[in-house]
Amino acid sequence: MKAQEYHDKIKAALWDEEKLNKKPQRTWQEATVRWLNETSDKRTTREDITKLRWLHPILGNLTLDQISLPVIDMIRERKLKEASKATVNRYLNLVRAILNRAKNEWEWIDGFPKIKMYKESNNRNRSLTPEQADKLLAELPEHQRDIVLFALYTGLRQRNVLDMEWEHVDLELRHAYVPRTKNGEALAVPLNDVAMSIITKQIGKHPQFVFSYRGKHIRYANTLAWRKALVRAGITDFRWHDLRHTWATWQRKAGTPTHELQHLGGWKTRAMVERYAHIAPEALSNAASRLNKIKLGYVLATLGENDVCKNDVSA
């Protein structure tokens, strides 16, 4: 478009807005650019960019007033084919937030369709057995295998693994430092032998980020190669975040107490860790059995000392 034509178009749009009270048509791309400029200090900006890239083929050529319920349903249906309802909600919520700001703050539109969210459940505990994990690892390319192994042995979320920088790794003290987790707090991560071996394997590959591929920072883990590896390994209904559930499950089965698991995983409240409490009841049984050593007179008189001692595994 020539400069004079562009000038005339803007002038006509301003005239329509002033004289006819008619808002100029704004595009989704204009909205996303302004959104990113205004929210650049958010800790989730990088996640927003990832979502917007996925949304672009659907919304990229539309004006804001063309984003109808059928378009929203298209987003919902396409994303649900590759992700959980909770993940679909994150994408829909971003679309809703941008449209809401376009309406209430920028005054670009008068309204937009009501975007309904899926009802979510926080009780998902999908995890792998060690045998299943071995099958999956065997199907992954080496650089992805390292990332998955590191997640399985540290419990870190995908973004915390991929964005880990060398300046936050202390090989001598054997720990990594996450400046900001999902709950907004920092987290010190002790590195066990497997995690240490994976970290040292990455030395010299990238000057800033721990995990890279052919000299470039790895930005995404939920790739086509990941999904194909799951199929070849015969693993269904498994998402990348379930690696964290797997780690927590393995920790509990190994006898890690709930309060320690909470600190290791960086959960803000104990309630978020209680979902794993049922996994290792033998650990609680051992704790309960400690009271067997207290021989109350009434118990001895009622049950008999021989019966009490016979059931005392620690006696």
Residue 244 a catalytic site member: yes
In this structure, which amino acid lies at residue 73?
D
Helix (H, G, I), strand (E, B) or coil at 6: helix
The beta-carbon contacts of 18-26 under 8 Å, at least 24 apart in sequence, are 23/107, 23/108, 23/109, 23/110, 25/63, 25/64, 25/65, 26/63, 26/64, 26/102, 26/106, 26/108, 26/109
The CA-atom distances, in angstroms, between 310 and each of 231, 291, 299 are 51, 14, 14
Helix (H, G, I), strand (E, B) or coil at 96: helix
* Cβ atoms 78, 58 nearer than 8 A: yes
Catalytic residue among 51, 206, 239, 244: 244
Residue 253 a catalytic site member: no
Catalytic residue among 35, 240, 247, 276: 276
C-alpha 150/C-alpha 63 separation (Å) is 43
Catalytic residue among 182, 201, 217, 275: 182
Residue 220 a catalytic site member: no
Catalytic residue among 126, 175, 241, 253: 241
Residue 114 a catalytic site member: no
Could you give the count of Cα atoms lying within 13 Å of 62 in the half-sphere of its Cβ? 16
Catalytic residue among 51, 76, 79, 157: 157
Residue 168 a catalytic site member: no
Structure tokens at 165: 């920088």
Residue 7 a catalytic site member: no
Q: Provide the annotated active-site residues.
A: 157, 182, 241, 244, 267, 276
